[in-house]
């Protein structure tokens, strides 16, 4: 999984800042504004959706969008009412039937040909000044979905695979800090982080972990920094002590 090193570093700093904020609403606002700047978005939304079954209108139990202007509100209204909602949004909801975690670019879901001829683009997105986007959905149980939407301004370059990978990593971190069960012991790690942690604790180097998991060393290094941050340690020895203690 390739990401741009500078963006990954800024993303991890953002996650650490959010942990220190603690308060849910302020945390969501900070996360939305932070990733908005890192990936060069025109609109960023972090939301919890209920009853998103692809047929009925959605209930947004929590939503934080940047910016909070009339065009952003039009996009959110479309999601709530299922009117002119993008075909990509519907595709994401359908994909959750087979996998609980999905992160995809608009071009991964709908071709340029279909997108630029769609009602959603021509009647909603274009008039709002938005175009290319990345959606990331995580089913969190109880019919709820934790969702992130990142939109480019009309005329900006499309999002690439590096951007998609960054949002996937970012979403894993956001879910972990916002959906952590009350009273749970120890940090809640994403599946890839647990795989990296297990190998680090067995003494593997980051290079060995990267080869074992078929990841780049930059990606493994990003996961390692995230694990250190989650356990509030700064070395492999400290990490081992914390894990043994728990």
> Read out DSSP for the chain?
----HHHHHHHHHHHHHHHHH--HHHHHHHHHHHHHHHTT-SEEEEEEEES--SSS--EEEEEEEES-SHHHHHHHHHHHHTSS--HHHHHHHHHTTT-SEEEEEHHHHS-HHHHTTSHHIIIIIHHHTEEEEEEEEEEEETTEEEEEEEEEETTSPPP-HHHHHHHHHHHHHHHHHHSPPTT--S----HHHHHHHHHHHTT--HHHHHHHHT--HHHHHHHHHHHHHHHT-SSHHHHHHHHHH-
pLDDT at 175: 87
Task: Out of 72-76, 149-153, 172-176, 233-237, pick the least confident.
Answer: 233-237
The whole-number pLDDT of residue 1 equals: 67
Answer whether residue 246 shows pLDDT above 60: no
Taking the C-alpha atoms of residue 182 and residue 162, their distance in angstroms, rounded to an integer, is: 34
pLDDT-based confidence at residue 185 (cuts at 50, 70, 90): low
Look up the pTM and report it: 0.73
Per-residue model confidence as pLDDT tens digits over 12-42: 889 888 888 877 788 888 999 999 999 999 9
The per-residue pLDDT for range 187-225, each reduced to its tens digit, is 777 788 888 998 998 889 999 999 999 888 888 998 898
Confidence label for 157 from pLDDT (cuts 50, 70 and 90): very high
Query: Average of pLDDT values for 57-86?
Result: 86
142 compared with 89, residue with greater pLDDT: 89
pLDDT in tens, 85-94: 888 998 998 8
| Range scoring the smallest mean pLDDT among 145-159, 180-194, 228-242 | 180-194
Q: Is the pLDDT of residue 241 over 80?
A: no
> What is the pLDDT averaged over residues 105-113?
96
Q: How far apart are CA 129 and CA 155, in angstroms?
A: 9
Average pLDDT for the chain: 87
Q: How confident is the model at residue 51 (pLDDT cuts 50, 70, 90)?
A: low
Residue bearing the bigger pLDDT, 61 or 159: 159
Average pLDDT of 110-116? 96
Residue 183 has pLDDT above 60, yes or no: no
């Amino acid at each position: 999984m390739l990401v741009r090193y500078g963006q990954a570093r800024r993303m991890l700093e953002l996650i650490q800042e959010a942990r220190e904020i603690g308060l849910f609403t302020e945390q969501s606002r900070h996360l939305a504004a932070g990733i908005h700047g890192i990936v060069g978005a025109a609109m960023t939304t972090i939301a919890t959706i209920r009853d998103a079954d692809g047929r009925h209108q959605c209930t947004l139990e929590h939503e934080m969008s940047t910016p909070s202007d009339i065009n952003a509100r039009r996009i959110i209204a479309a999601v709530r009412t299922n009117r002119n909602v993008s075909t990509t949004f519907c595709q994401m909801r359908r994909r959750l039937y087979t996998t609980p975690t999905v992160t995809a670019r608009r071009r991964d879901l709908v071709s340029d040909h279909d997108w630029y001829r769609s009602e959603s683009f021509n009647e909603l997105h274009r008039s709002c000044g938005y175009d290319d986007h990345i959606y990331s959905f995580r089913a969190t149980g109880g019919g709820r979905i934790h969702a992130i939407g990142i939109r480019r301004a009309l005329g900006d370059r499309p999002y690439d695979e590096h951007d998609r990978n960054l949002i996937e990593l970012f979403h894993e971190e956001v879910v972990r800090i916002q959906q952590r069960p009350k009273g749970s012991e120890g940090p809640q790690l994403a599946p890839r982080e647990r795989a990296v942690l297990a190998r680090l604790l067995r003494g593997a180097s980051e290079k060995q972990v990267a080869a074992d998991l078929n990841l780049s060393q930059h990606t493994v290094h990003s996961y390692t920094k995230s694990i250190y941050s989650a356990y509030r340690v700064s070395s492999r020895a400290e990490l081992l002590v914390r894990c043994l203690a728990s």
